[in-house]
A and B are shown apart, each in its own frame.
Chain A
């Protein structure tokens, strides 16, 4: 149970991937189990890509895009937001906890915010695993 939660993070090319770059240069600390996948825009991440990641063994998936209103492609992140609501709702239907998915907005000048989002997601998944490990039916 010491394994860190594996997280797939889809980062958009223009803001959050640049932020991840800056986080690296600035030597900010965040969990090493994050796998960043660069996409051109958060709006191109189809819900099936998220489900595919979970089906293949990821513990959690994040989509990280530019702040709303600052999308390089004008409205791509609004599309991502509409899709994120669908994903969060549908995950439960497909047998996953909705906490396994998160969408966040990070500009290219906010590496600290990105690292914080990564840490927060990792902690959330760790607590999810604790509840998984406890015997079912014994609630508080």
Chain B
């Protein structure tokens, strides 16, 4: 090639335009050590577990708190509601009684109330209409008990200096705390001041038993574990508590802060139990209604739920662990498998490449031999020419014999290098659709001359019915049949017979047989015939021909069979698949 300026450019010879060493799969493969997969597995498991468990955990946590809050509300609200309602009931009760006493105090005159009989009658009616009254009494403005109906003997008592008296006098009404009264039962007192138009004032006082309180509390309809009671602001029980004390005893725990609306506290009680205390302060009198429920009771449903959440969480975690581990295992195994296959393919390619490179190098070097050989050939030829032209040369025949011999040697060298080149070519595989008959005809063509010279009859029974084309490598097929046919030629005597046939068998293989009527081989020989370096012809070749042939056929996915009888002949049968097997076998 010449560039534009007319200077010779570097010539691209066939050898160099396609690099000897190009690798179709060019990735720097390294033998992957197992640790890589261990750490891959570990990382995958860790990540998957983190990604699944952390949200699950957070959700469980959030749910936990949300539920807790919701449940609290759910549990507490009713309690507060009950407490409120009860408080209203109480207040209603007290207001009713107060109204009753107040009404009587205003409806009747001092004189009427001072009259014992009238007071009796009023008291009876009061008792009938409103439950719980124990006594009734009239006290004048000086604090003197003027009249009295009841179980005590209070007529004539002076209450002038009593606190309640002062309170009533100033406030107009008074509801007392609970005290131990008649028959050691708890009572409380309502006193109301009344004033007539003349400006006279008197106080009407009634005692009520707290039995009613208990009724009201009972009406709350609480479960057995609940404890509802009333204390006053000083901490004295006004009704009995189931667990903390009886009426008029001291409430063993600190008084909760003032709250006119129902409130709820979680605390530990004096017995060390976790409790929920709902309470509310009365406006008047200064009572506190308390409802105590043990935590365990309250939170029973919560604990159940919590237990369930926990159980589900743990179960999920276990399932996740198992699944993640299993999936990772399967995945990593697949990755390992495909990596191995890839590496094998790479090695396969590298190896094929390497063989091809060897082949080409060897071939390149073999070419080098050709040059000296060609020279020797010409030189010997020249000598022949010269000697032939000398008249009456004494040693003419001898010399010509020698020069001929030299030229024969050159011919032999050609054959040898030809074989080497064929071998090199074989290492480059090129698959295409091939008609086996063509291959055989061509191979026969190589040996046609020899057959003619040695008078060997060669019959070609090539299937006229179209045998299917096979996907294979032309060069290698050539090698195979050349080798077998060569062997046949070696085996027969001059004048012998060789028959070549092709056909398709019933399992879809394309078959070719080469049969000779030569020396045949013993059973012993027949069994070893394909072994490398096993040769019956001393000094001929390298003993590798048939083993190579066997190897080629195997690589192409086919089989070779041999039948032989000593003294009668040998038959080689080659069976080839229509498509070559994928080379994954090592």
Q: Do A and B come together as binding partners?
A: no
